[in-house]
């Protein structure tokens, strides 16, 4: 009954708002260039396969963060079942662009995600013919999941997370979200707290598994080859990286950096904003503080700039690899924080603010292990970086502890592969 009401309201909205939707879609390049495909028009035909021998996995991801999270799992699927067909759908333009670079050796097809209209979803399913549907983290759509269930296609949520704040929001619209979560065969959550929150939402205990965060098994540490962006970083400098930053954070970070740089000329700052379109805004903040910035997209290395602003997508992990210490953004402002696992992978100290609600269990564990530090304001951030500058053994030990914490959590991919094997 709920899905019927959803489709009726959806149809009415399209009938009433279609002129406005057309204007928005075709005036904005990032929408117009993919919208026809998202309606299911012009999709490539996938060669038929022997379904008795070749399984087709359909993995759906919202954007850049979800693609990055899914990459280790997709690589493992390809390694363990090389004959399988893997189709990835991505909602955002930036996510699809990254997928076409990051997943080139892992997947067979990358498509724009379908809009959640029944005819469109039906067309996608007819083309892909999935044997399993794997959904990464978020971006839930009722028609897609309902149709999977109707056709008895196994569905799993991977890297699931639900913060206490999200739980409150879901509870307000329980009538909508409860059927969505219950439509999955299994919900693979990142942490025990995520599992507890899902239980509190009323999801059946047998559906919920705590398998960990896929990023714990990111193979990036083993791939030490120099990337293009690493060649742009000054080799003789101590690279301090502020990753996935949000408005309100860059000014604090730049202020701390400008203070420390007076006595530590070997310090170099890299800022990787969550939204690359804010690069010019950040450069203005730097100029106001007397800091000369350059952009990653300029693809140049000079000896006079003090700051590199990464205005590209998908290169944060390569910057972390070359870093001396890292600050994880979205945490000094109340946005829930971002994943601290990637910098910890490379054995560097991990700093973050008090707003790590979306990764509270991982952040707490990093602090307890001695690999992470929570900073609350400009003074505590400066004090912590100053200590690393003055006491190199302290920095090295914290980085070592961060890496050891990650290594103890590894094995997440094997748990997911075992689950997938059991469902087919």
pLDDT tens string 35-58: 778 888 888 888 888 887 899 999
d(C-alpha 404, C-alpha 72), whole Å: 19
The answer to whether 381 and 256 have CB atoms below 8 angstroms apart is yes
Three-state SS at 309: strand
pLDDT in tens, 266-309: 999 999 999 999 999 999 999 999 999 999 999 887 777 899 99
pLDDT at 26: 62
pLDDT in tens, 83-130: 999 999 999 989 999 999 999 999 999 999 999 999 999 999 999 999
The answer to whether 98 and 64 have CB atoms below 8 angstroms apart is yes
Say whether domain 221-409 belongs to CATH 3.40.50.2000. Answer: yes
Closest among 271, 280, 256, 248 to 385, alpha carbons compared: 256
pLDDT at 24: 61
pLDDT at 225: 46
Regions of the chain with pLDDT less than 50: 220-225
Output the six-digit token pair for 360. 């509270």
Query: 333 Cβ partners below 8 Å, 6+ apart?
Result: 246, 247, 248, 249, 353, 355
**Domain ranges (residues) in the chain:** 50-217+411-423, 221-409
Tell me whether the CATH fold assigned to 50-217+411-423 matches the one assigned to 221-409. yes
Closest among 167, 83, 91, 143 to 357, alpha carbons compared: 167
Most distant CA pair in the chain, distance: 67
pLDDT at 223: 46
Query: Across-strand partners of 85?
Result: 56
Query: Across-strand partners of 351?
Result: 327, 373
pTM greater than the 0.85 cutoff: yes
pLDDT at 213: 95
pLDDT at 38: 86
Counting beta carbons within 10 angstroms of the beta carbon of residue 211, is it exposed (0 to 12), middle (13 to 18) or buried (19 or more)?
buried
| CATH architecture of the domain with residue range 50-217+411-423 | 3-Layer(aba) Sandwich (3.40)
* DSSP structural state of residue 133: E
Three-state SS at 123: helix
């Amino acid at each position: 009954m709920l899905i019927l009401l959803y489709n009726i309201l959806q149809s009415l909205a399209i009938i009433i708002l279609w002129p406005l939707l057309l204007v928005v879609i075709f005036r904005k390049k990032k929408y117009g260039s993919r919208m026809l495909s998202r309606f299911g028009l012009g999709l490539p035909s996938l060669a038929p396969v022997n379904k008795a021998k070749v399984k087709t996995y359909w993995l759906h991801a919202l954007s850049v963060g979800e693609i990055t999270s899914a990459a280790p799992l997709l690589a493992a699927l390809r390694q363990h079942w090389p004959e399988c067909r893997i189709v990835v759908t991505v909602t955002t333009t930036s996510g699809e662009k990254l997928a076409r670079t990051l997943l080139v050796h892992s997947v067979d097809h990358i498509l724009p995600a379908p809009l959640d209209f029944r005819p469109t979803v039906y067309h996608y399913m007819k083309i892909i013919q999935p044997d399993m549907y794997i959904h990464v983290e978020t971006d839930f759509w009722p028609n897609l999941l309902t149709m999977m269930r109707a056709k008895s296609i196994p569905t799993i949520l991977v890297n699931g997370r639900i913060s206490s704040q999200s739980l409150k929001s879901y509870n307000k619209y329980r009538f909508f979200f409860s059927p969505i979560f219950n439509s999955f065969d299994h919900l693979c959550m990142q942490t025990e707290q995520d599992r507890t929150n899902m239980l509190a939402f009323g999801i059946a205990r047998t559906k919920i598994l705590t398998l960990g965060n896929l990023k714990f098994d990111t193979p990036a540490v083993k791939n030490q080859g120099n990337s293009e962006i690493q060649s742009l970083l000054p080799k003789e400098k101590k690279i301090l990286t502020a990753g996935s930053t949000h408005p309100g954070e860059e000014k604090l970070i730049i202020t701390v950096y400008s203070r420390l740089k007076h006595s530590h000329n070997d310090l170099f700052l890299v800022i990787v904003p969550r939204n690359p379109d804010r690069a010019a805004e950040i450069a203005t903040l730097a100029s106001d503080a007397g800091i000369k910035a350059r952009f990653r997209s300029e693809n140049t290395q000079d000896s006079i700039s003090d700051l590199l602003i990464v205005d590209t997508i998908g290169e944060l992990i390569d910057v972390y690899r070359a870093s001396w210490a890292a600050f994880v953004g979205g945490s000094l402002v109340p946005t829930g924080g971002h994943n601290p696992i990637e910098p910890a992978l490379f054995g560097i100290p991990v700093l973050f603010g008090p707003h790590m609600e979306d990764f509270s269990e991982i952040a707490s564990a990093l602090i307890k292990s001695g690999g992470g530090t929570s900073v609350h304001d400009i003074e505590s951030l400066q004090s912590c970086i100053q200590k690393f500058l003055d006491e190199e053994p302290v920095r090295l030990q914290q980085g070592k502890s961060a890496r050891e914490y990650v290594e103890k959590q590894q094995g997440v991919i094997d748990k997911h592969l075992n689950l997938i094997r059991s469902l087919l």
